[in-house]
Amino acid sequence: MNVFALLANTARRHPEQGAVYRGTELALRYRELRTRAGALAGALRARWPAGERIVVASENCVEYVELLFGIWGAGAVAVPVNFKLHAKEMAQIVEDAGACCVFASPTLAPALEAALGAAPAVIVIGSRAYDELFAAAEELAPATAPEAPAWLFYTSGTTGRSKGAMLTHRNLMAATLAHLADVEPIEPGHSQVHAAPMSHGSGLYILPSISRGARQVVPASGGFDPAEFLALCSAHPGCGAFLAPTMVQRLRVEAERSGTRPTQLRSIVYGGGPMYVEELKRSLRVFGPVFAQIYGQGESPMTITSLGRHEHEQADEAVLASVGTARTGCEVAVVDADGRMLEPEEIGEVVVRGDVVMAGYWNNPQATAEALRDGWLFTGDMGAMDARGFLTLRDRSKDLIISGGSNIYPREVEEVLLRHPGVHEVCVVGQPDEQWGETVAAFVVAAAQNPPTEDELDRLCIESIARFKRPKAYRFVESLPKNSYGKVLKRELRERLAAGRDLP
Ligand code: AMP
């Protein structure tokens, strides 16, 4: 089973339907996309045997779609890398993957070629060498085992060196089916707007939307520009998108500022980091009931739990603060340090098993053995499940603050501080302390209006959480350090605090 079949089936059924758009301009119909991906598969097969790794280093672009399906059709393994990485970091991934070839965008290719040296070959997307690949005769891989890797998903590396999660054709198929079952129905002629990186969550959503005959819309900017995104969601029919929570917030701010309300916005699927309840409520007020949440990680792509659109319509705060319930095809549990299942409401590590869970880390048996135990993926996320199966994430185990022997989950304190209308963003971390081991420190980015005072924030905390959880120190900062996927780098904040270094 090869996920190329998802495209082949749709192209047979809807050949004239628009498949890929650059902004509002049609780039490829389904029959054209199918033909180009088949030709690329033939060209790649003529050069390399099945199972070779092929890197894609590019901003979001219309070619991304034909590249992924061409690589899969050839029986090769796609290695999409985050385009915001430094060329040296990309080169490390190319080397770690043992890639035979790199497809790079014209903007990224020169630095990447310099970082790589002589090998492997870099083919510039859109160049003559690139175009020549599409003259080949189609030759798909004769058979692909469901266990064959299809995508090496390099983790975002907030906890150290990035590792390549091996996602097989079966994993991708399981993620695709679970998306359609749990998150949103997609119809032919709907649109999937790729504003988040296609090397990550947005790229994974190419599969369910292609399988249903939807348009792939790549913003002309190649990324996320809130005003452009809002305009596209009025120009294309039935728009859906995957956005990180920080993008949802930027979109909401832009919609409020400009007064723009997209007329064709069907669904926003958010995940990849915590969505705070206050922000979710504000966004629901602006955009209406279009939101669904997913919780997943590269090792179980986009698929551990989800919170559906209808569940967002309930006023139940505990439900809104949760990441929802186990996905179709997944078993999800919370375990203690010895791997024993915990009772409802007890906090422990979240584990998941099912067809969506990765085969292991590429060339890294030790990391694989730590992450995959007895068939379960140990996610490194701490959480608790209620009796109905709603999972609430606390924090990654390493972000937990232990002060005077008591556990403090930063997220809980962050949720409270965000209730102040003058708080735009906040991040709570542990600060080393001789007496207590750690104390709570809060980094606060003030909103343009009503900047909060320490006293006001302190009072908010006293009203809602135990006194020992209150921040002992507040730092008002211009911005929070984030990685290229928009995740706050708590480690960096902790390091700066420990070193007594000032923040911007
Ligand atoms: P990545 O592998 O880069 O996608 O990162 C996955 C990690 O992001 C997870 O292990 C969680 O810590 C976090 N994450 C993903 N989805 C959510 C969510 N809906 N809410 C909170 N954290 C999330």
Q: Which residues contact 358 (CB under 8 A, 6 or more apart)?
A: 153, 165, 166, 167, 168, 171, 298, 299, 300, 301, 372, 377
Q: Which atom of ligand 1 is nearest to the CA of 274?
A: 21
The residue type found at 23 is G
Tell which one of 393, 394, 400, 427 to mutate to probe ligand 1, the residue whose CB is within 8 A of the most ligand atoms.
393
Expressed in angstroms and rounded, the spacing between residue 271 Cα and the centre of ligand 1 is: 7
Please name the residue whose Cα sits nearest to atom 8 of ligand 1.
272
Q: Which atom of ligand 1 is nearest to the CA of 153?
A: 2
d(CA 180, CA 491) in angstroms, rounded, equals 35
pLDDT 10s per residue in the chain (504 long)? 999 999 999 999 999 999 999 999 999 999 999 999 999 999 999 999 999 999 999 999 999 999 999 999 999 999 999 998 889 889 999 999 999 999 999 999 999 999 998 889 999 999 999 999 999 999 999 999 999 999 999 986 544 567 999 999 999 999 999 999 999 999 999 999 999 999 999 999 999 999 999 999 999 999 999 999 999 999 999 999 999 888 999 999 999 999 999 999 999 999 988 888 999 999 999 999 999 999 999 999 999 999 999 999 877 889 999 999 999 999 999 999 899 999 999 999 999 999 999 999 999 999 999 999 999 999 999 999 999 999 999 877 778 888 877 788 898 899 999 999 999 999 999 998 888 888 999 999 999 888 999 999 999 999 888 888 999 999 999 999 988 777 888 888 988 888 776 554
Expressed in angstroms and rounded, the spacing between residue 476 Cα and the centre of ligand 1 is: 26
d(CA 193, CA 60) in angstroms, rounded, equals 11
Please name the residue whose Cα sits nearest to atom 10 of ligand 1.
297
Expressed in angstroms and rounded, the spacing between residue 396 Cα and the centre of ligand 1 is: 9
Please name the residue whose Cα sits nearest to atom 5 of ligand 1.
297
Residue 266 in tokens: 């069907």
Residue whose token pair is 């990035």: 162
Please name the residue whose Cα sits nearest to atom 22 of ligand 1.
273
Using alpha carbons, select from 285, 316, 491 the residue that is nearest to residue 386. 316
Residue 50 in tokens: 């099945």
Expressed in angstroms and rounded, the spacing between residue 301 Cα and the centre of ligand 1 is: 10
- Report the first-to-last Cα separation within the chain, whole angstroms: 51
Expressed in angstroms and rounded, the spacing between residue 296 Cα and the centre of ligand 1 is: 6
Please name the residue whose Cα sits nearest to atom 3 of ligand 1.
156
Q: Which atom of ligand 1 is nearest to the CA of 158?
A: 3
d(CA 220, CA 194) in angstroms, rounded, equals 10
Expressed in angstroms and rounded, the spacing between residue 25 Cα and the centre of ligand 1 is: 33
Expressed in angstroms and rounded, the spacing between residue 36 Cα and the centre of ligand 1 is: 34
Expressed in angstroms and rounded, the spacing between residue 188 Cα and the centre of ligand 1 is: 30
Expressed in angstroms and rounded, the spacing between residue 142 Cα and the centre of ligand 1 is: 36
Please name the residue whose Cα sits nearest to atom 1 of ligand 1.
297
d(CA 489, CA 412) in angstroms, rounded, equals 18
d(CA 60, CA 483) in angstroms, rounded, equals 18
Residue 62 in tokens: 């219309």
Q: Which atom of ligand 1 is nearest to the CA of 379?
A: 10
Backbone angles phi, psi at 473, to 5 degrees: -140, 140
Expressed in angstroms and rounded, the spacing between residue 272 Cα and the centre of ligand 1 is: 4
Tell which one of 297, 394, 398 to mutate to probe ligand 1, the residue whose CB is within 8 A of the most ligand atoms.
297
Q: Which residues contact 115 (CB under 8 A, 6 or more apart)?
A: 87, 88, 90, 91
Q: Which atom of ligand 1 is nearest to the CA of 301?
A: 4
**Which letter does DSSP use for residue 467 in this model?**
G
Taking CB atoms and a 6 Å cutoff, what residues make up the pocket around ligand 1?
A: 155-156, 271-274, 293, 295-298, 323, 379, 381, 393, 396
Expressed in angstroms and rounded, the spacing between residue 181 Cα and the centre of ligand 1 is: 21
Q: Which atom of ligand 1 is nearest to the CA of 270?
A: 19
Give residue 428's pLDDT: 95
Q: Which residues contact 85 (CB under 8 A, 6 or more apart)?
A: 93, 484
Backbone angles phi, psi at 81, to 5 degrees: -115, 150
Summarised one tens digit per residue, pLDDT across range 152-192 is: 999 865 445 679 999 999 999 999 999 999 999 999 999 99
d(CA 271, CA 281) in angstroms, rounded, equals 15
Tell which one of 270, 332, 381, 485 to mutate to probe ligand 1, the residue whose CB is within 8 A of the most ligand atoms.
381
Q: Which residues contact 65 (CB under 8 A, 6 or more apart)?
A: 19, 20, 28, 33, 37, 206, 210, 216
Please name the residue whose Cα sits nearest to atom 4 of ligand 1.
297
Using alpha carbons, select from 336, 438, 325, 339 the residue that is nearest to residue 388. 325
d(CA 334, CA 347) in angstroms, rounded, equals 7
Question: Contact 423/414 with Cβ under 8 angstroms?
Answer: no
Per the document, the length of the chain is 504
d(CA 391, CA 397) in angstroms, rounded, equals 16
Q: In terms of pTM, does the model score above 0.75? A: yes
d(CA 71, CA 141) in angstroms, rounded, equals 10
A 10 A CB-CB count for 483 gives: 16
Please name the residue whose Cα sits nearest to atom 23 of ligand 1.
273
Residue whose token pair is 């006194």: 467
